[in-house]
Amino acid sequence: MVCKEETSKYTALTASGKAIQHFYANEVNSVITYPCPEKDWKDLEVGDLVEIEGLAWTGHGTIKGVDISFDGGKNWTEASLKGLVLPKAWTRFSYMHKYDGKPMLLQSRSYDDSDNVQPTVNQEKAVVGVEGVYHRNAIITWQVTDMGEVSNVQIRS
C-alpha cells in the first residue's frame, strides 16, 4: 500500500495545475539569520556597526554570490561569502551595515554557478503554483521596524 504522504509530497503543481513528478531538486536559496524574528535589533543604537549574517545553499552546484536588499528588493548590494564555499553545502554570507534606526524590508537573494537565481514569491508561484509548499525557495523578507523589532512579511513582486 502506498501512503498519500509518500507520493503527493514528491511532486509540485505548476500554475496550470499540472504536477511535476519526482521533484527532488534543492533549489538555490538563502535566508538572513541575523537579524531575524528570533534575534532582533532592539539592543542596537543608531550608528552601531552590525554584521548582517545568513546562509545560502543550492542543490545544483556551488553558491556564486548573495545580494542583500534593505528596501524590499528595489535595490541590491553584494554580500561577502565567508569560509569554505563548497558544492551542495551551506555557504555563509555577511554584510557590514551601519544601523540608522530606520524601518527596512531586509532580503537576501542567492545565485549559483549553474546560473540559477533565487526567485521572488511571484516568480516562484508562476512555476510551482501555490501548492508547492514542500519546495519553497522564494526570497524571504524580514521587516525591521524603527524600534528594531523583526518580523516575517511577504512581498508579492
Higher pLDDT, 15 or 103: 103
For position 53, what pLDDT does the model report?
98
The pLDDT tens digits of the residues spanning 41-83 come to 999 999 999 999 999 999 999 999 999 999 999 999 999 999 9
**H/E element, 69:** strand 63-69
SS3 19: strand
The pLDDT tens digits of the residues spanning 91-115 come to 999 999 999 999 999 999 999 999 9
Residue 146: partners with Cβ closer than 8 Å, 6 or more residues away: 101, 102, 103
DSSP 123: H
CA distance 56 to 91: 5
For position 58, what pLDDT does the model report?
95
Q: What are phi and psi of 123, to 5 degrees?
A: -65, -40
CA distance 108 to 55: 9
In the structure grid, which three cell numbers stand for residue 68, read together?
A: 542583500
Structural domains in the chain, sorted by start: 25-153 (2.60.40.650)
Please give the single-letter amino acid code of residue 127. Answer: V
pTM listed for this prediction:
0.85
The share of the chain scoring above pLDDT 70, in percent, equals: 82
Asked if 120 and 136 touch (Cβ cutoff 8 Å), the reply is no
